[in-house]
Structure formats: C-alpha cells, structure tokens
Structure 1
Amino acid sequence: MTALDCAWGFYAHRQINRLAIFTLPPEMLGFYKKNISYITEAAVNPDRRRYVVEGEAARHYIDLDHYGDSALAKLSVSWDLALTKYPEDTLQAHGVVPWQIYRTYIRLREAFLVRDPDAILRLSADLGHYVGDAHVPLHTTVNYDGQLTGQTGIHAFWESRLPELFSTRYNYLVGRAAYLHDPQRAAWDAVASAHHALDSVLGFERSLALQMGDRRYSYETKGRQTVRVYSQEYAAAYHDMLAGMVERQMRAAIRMTGSLWYTAWVDAGQPDLFSLMAYAPGEEELRRRREELKKWREAASGADSILHR
C-alpha cells in the first residue's frame, strides 16, 4: 500500500465531488459545472498535502473510541468548548474531522461573501474531501486499519477496493442539496452514523475471513507489478454482507457535500455566481498549483509506505 492510499481512495473522492455538483440549484450549477474538472481533481488535494502542511493529517479522522462510550456526548460541541474539556494536543492527536468540516464551511461562506472564485473552488473541493472522510466508519476509530484485531488492510479494502469494483452499480440520484440549519451538527451526525456502522465493517470481515480462508487473496497485475489483493470473490461476498453500506455512505457524502456548498452560498446572501462564469485561473495561479502539486508528490514519495488516514 502506498503512502497515498488513504481516505476513500482517490477514485471515490473524485466521484463524490463530481456528483455533488449535480445536487445544486440552477443559480449555482452553471459555475460549478464550468469548473467540474478542477473540483473533481482537487478532491484529493487534502490527501496530497498531508505530508507538507502541518496539522493536515488530523483533519481526516476522529478516534471516537479513544474518548470512551459517551464520546459523542462529550465531543459534539464547538471547538472552543471542546478545548475546555481536553488539551488541544489530545484533540489533534485523535483527529478533528467534524470540526474541520465546519471550519471549511465557514471559510467557504466567506469566499462567497467576497465573490472570490479561486477560493470558492478550492474550498468547495476541500470541503467535499473532509465530508467524504467523515462518512467512512474506519475514520472514526483507533483501530482504523484493523491493526488491533488482526485485520490489517481492511481500510483500503473497504474504501478503495470495494468502490472500485462495485460503484458502477450504485444509484447516485441523491436528490437536491438541502439547506442545513446547523452545519456543525450535520458534521457530527455524519461521524456518528459512520461510527455506528463500525462493528459491522469489522465483524463481517472477520467472520468472512474464517469462512473463506485462502480464497481471501489473489494476485493482480497493476502497471508493471503483480500485487496481492483481496480477491474479487472475497470482495463480492463482503460487499454483499455489508448490504449496501458503501453505497449508502457514498450517497450520503455526495448529498451532504452539495448541501454544505449550498448552505454556505445561502448564508453568504446568495451571491450572483453567473458573474463569475468568465473566471479562469491566471498564469500565476496555474504556476502556484503546479508547484504545490510537485511539492506534495515529492513529500509523499519520501513518506513511509504505510497507511495514513
């Protein structure tokens, strides 16, 4: 597993951002569709920069089980109030994804207020990424890769291998984006729902491994390499046991992403996005993006080849 195999996997993150665009009302749809390539590709930027930007890694997960059985009651509050209960280094060490969703929503709202097209696009892409992460059950636990239960590798199996094999069958008609009266609460609700599914994610795979034994793995050629992967037979059996869970979580992430974009726009006074349709990144912006991407790739290539959330 490479250092970039994290979060939903690049494929699913791109899908979530791209499909969220089609939940938007006409007043937003034109601007977002015009920039669909950027929003889709930039969906993976938070993973790319995690080795360069200090504090980025903690923005992708939260270890709810570290805080005990009443974790949600203790934590599902504003960041400032959480700091009255726990030291900041403890919160950072165990992940801050729900707070990061709210912070990014606030910044997106501000970008709409000042009609900054570059910031709107960049923050929209980032927000979709963090929302996607919040919908992954294994992003809510200390046992994020099954390393504590003899299931190492389950992280990429659930969020990368399964979507890549089966997501073409999913129904992505999730309806229109909805106004969220409490975006911070919505972020915590997403995390709580994902965490509720964690026992099934781990328990089903553990029982299936006992049933299928050596059929758990196979070998596939990827590029010039032959690699060991979870077999398609095993993946199909696990996917069936999950009874649509991966699809449900992807659908929920798509709709919540669109809803947060829409809510930020409404809360900014519904600025006219048609006036931004002529926007195209200038040479300076394009140069900045190229340099950032080069820096992120260099940092990732030098990172340990272990799973990072």
Structure 2
Amino acid sequence: MKNIKFKPTIVLLSAIAIGFLTLSWGIIGHERINNAAVMALPKPLQIFFYNHIDFITTESTVPDVRKYAVNDKAEGPRHYFDMENYGSTDSFPKTLEEAKQKYDAKFLDKNGILPWYIQDMMVKLTKAFKEKRKTEILFLASDLGHYIADAHMPLHTSDNHDGQNTNQKGIHSLWESRLPELFAKNYKFNTTSAVYIEDVEKATWDIMFDTHSLVEPLLAIDKSLRTTTPENEIYVIDAEGKIAKNKYNGMVYSDEYAKKLHVALNGMVENQMKKAIVATSSFWYTAWVNAGKPDLSNLDSEELTKYNKKGLKRDLKLWEKGKLFGLESEKEF
C-alpha cells in the first residue's frame, strides 16, 4: 500500500478518535471496508484511488472524529436512522429537503438522517468528479464510505441502537467493534467488483431495508445466548466480583462470550462488511460515471502512478485471495 503524496494531519486526528468510536464500525471495520472498496473498483478509477489508498483508508474514521473529538453537533444524525420511528416505509420522504419539511429539526436530530445524507454526499461527490477537484474527491469519497458502512450495521437502523430497550446494553460496540477486532483477521475481503447503480435513491433504501431486517435476528441470537450463559461468563469480572467497566462506563464482555456470539451469528458481521465493500465501491464508481467518466490521470504525477503500479498489481492478487496488505489498525478493546 503506497502513497507518497499524502501525509496529512488526518493521521493524527484518527489516532485521537480511538477513544471515541463507541457508536460506529470502529477503526478496524471502517479502514478495511474503505481499503477493500478501492480494490473492488474498475480501472482507470482504481488507479487514481490506489494512488491515495492510505489516505482513503485512514480518513474512513474521520466522521467519527468530527462527532466525538471535535463535538460537531451536526455530525451525529448522519450516522443512523431509527427506522421504527418514521412510520410507514412507503411514507418516508425521498430527500433530505422533503424530510426537513415533514419533520422538525429536533425529531431529525434524534432519529437520524443517514440514507438522505448518503444521497446528498453522492451529489457532492459527482460534482467533485465532474470538476476534477482532487482534494474534494478524496475527502468526499472517504467520508461516503464511512456512512455507507454505517448503513450496513443493523443497529444503526434501529431505535434500539444499543439493546437498551431489551436489556442488552453494550451489544452495539460488541457487534461492530469487538467482534471485528477479535475475528477480522480471519475474514475474507474479496468481493465482486463495483457495478453501476441505475437508481441511487432506490439502492440506498434497499441497503437500509436489508440491514434493518437483521436487527431482530441479531438481538434474538444475543438474547438467547444471555439466557443460557452465566453472568460471570458473559462479562469480565473485576477483583471485587463486579462487572468490569471501561472508561465510558460500559460493561466489558468476555472474549469467551464474544466467541460464542460470533459463532451463533454465523458470519453476519463478515457478510455485512463485504456488502459494505461492494456498495462503497459501486457508489464511488457510479458518481464517477454520472460525472462523465472524467480522466483523472493528470491529477497525479506520472512518477506517483508508476511508483504504485507494482504495488497495485501485488495488492490485487492478495485481495483476490481475500487478504488486505499492510493494515494494522489500532485496537479499541
């Protein structure tokens, strides 16, 4: 994985984010989804993105930095959509502007705007491609990958986002951060290649509905395991015999329980990551096609592209086997 062009302060910002990623795929999930999405792109778009794969990989966590470290109040609702609170699915507003006309700001802030924000990001990314604005393309594409990944996390589509309504508190970070941290080394990240999306709006909602369909089985599997597993085997127990808490006062689940849940979920986390990879690469590709397939080769020096040519060939071979090169994400647990 080579990138001799970008050495931004974003790397430092991402390090700051480690302690704040309690409501997202976390470092490991987001970085692997964006990284593999680059490998799933068709040429020539892939060549341009690969020149900046380090940036695209690292920047995948920056929306969470804005939310937690920078405390950007506008950022939070972009990461989720509490589908149950929006009523009948056929009455969902089609665009963010329509949503703002139907619901007040407080309601939208509480229940989220994720699918509409993905659509807005697509408009902005298409414009950046059309105008060949290199920095904007890279920032917008990386951020878009983050939100598409969030749209593939079941609990990002539900009001019961952390199992708080069903006495399963802590399930959110366990599913999306702890399980990838423990088991992603065994996941296969090779997928089908990106495809052109004829209807971005429909594709966005298809993702949301598909992801939401996993909320009930996810919670049911965890609930069943909890009822058959002694409490002292579910959580880490401290020296005083109490459930250990992390620095955010969250309960710390044992490695043993995490393993049991991972097996019972039967590949759900890996499958959702792979869906997110294909969706991310397809949304990027679609924005580029809709922009008129602009030639991006002159946005980078010939030396940079030539330097990365061998690396791209090598990494594609690894990706075809399900592996990703050079990723050592910082752990959160």
Q: TM-score range by the shorter chain?
A: 0.7 to 0.9
The structural deviation recorded for 1:206 is: 1.1
Alignment CA distance shift 1:178-1:233 (3 Å)? same
Residue 195 (structure 1) aligns with:
212
SS of the equivalent of 1:125 reads helix
1:245-260 matched pairs, under 5 angstroms: 245-260=268-283
Match of 2:20 in 1: 3
- Structure 2 residue aligned with 1:217: 235
1:163 alignment counterpart: 180
Q: Is residue 76–residue 185 contact of structure 1 (8 Å, CA) maintained in 2? A: no
Unaligned stretches of 5+ residues in structure 2: 1-17, 239-243, 304-333
2:301 and 2:245 mapped to 1: Cα distance? 46
TM-score, normalisation: structure 2:
0.78
| CA-to-aligned-CA distance 1:33-66 (integer Å, 9 cap, x gap) | 1101110010001000014333110000011111
In structure 1, what residue type is equivalent to 2:82? D
| Matching of residue 277 in structure 1 with residue 306 in structure 2 | no
Letter matched to residue 236 of structure 2: S
Distance in structure 2 (CA, Å) of the matches to 1:22 and 1:185: 25
- Greater shift, 1-10 or 131-140, is seen at 1-10
**Corresponding position of 1:148:** 165
Please identify, of 72-81 and 241-250, the stretch whose mean Cα deviation from structure 2 is larger. 72-81
Q: How does 1:15-34 map to 2 (within 5 A)?
A: 15-34=32-51
* Aligned pair partner of 2:288 in 255, 261, 265: 265
Whether the 8 Å CA contact 2:125–2:287 is kept in 1: the answer is yes
Q: Which residue of 2 aligns with 1:232?
A: 255
- In structure 2, relative to structure 1, the CA distance for the partners of 1:65 and 1:25 (3 Å cut) is same
Q: Distance in 2 between matches of 1:4 and 1:161?
A: 11
Give the TM-score normalised by structure 1.
0.83
Residue number in structure 2 paired with 1:97: 114
Deviations 1:163-187, CA, capped at 9 Å, x for gaps = 1111122221111100001112211
> How many residue pairs get matched?
274
Q: Deviations over 1:88-112 (max 9, x none)?
A: 4322321000011111111000000
Match of 2:84 among 42, 65, 74: 65
CA–CA distance in structure 1, aligned partners of residues 262 and 302 of structure 2: 42
SS at match of 1:18: helix
Rounded Cα–Cα distance in structure 1 between residues aligned with 2:93 and 2:152:
16
Q: Say if 2:163 and 2:169, in contact at 8 Å, map to a contact too.
A: yes
Once the two structures are TM-superposed, the CA of residue 3 in structure 1 deviates from its matched residue by 3.3
- Residue 75 of structure 2 corresponds to 56
Q: Is the counterpart of residue 106 in structure 1 residue 123 in structure 2?
A: yes
Q: Which residue is equivalent to 2:138?
A: 121
**1:304 corresponds to which residue?**
none
RMSD: 2.2
Unaligned runs of 5+ in 1: 281-309
Correspondence for 1:12 among 29, 33, 36: 29
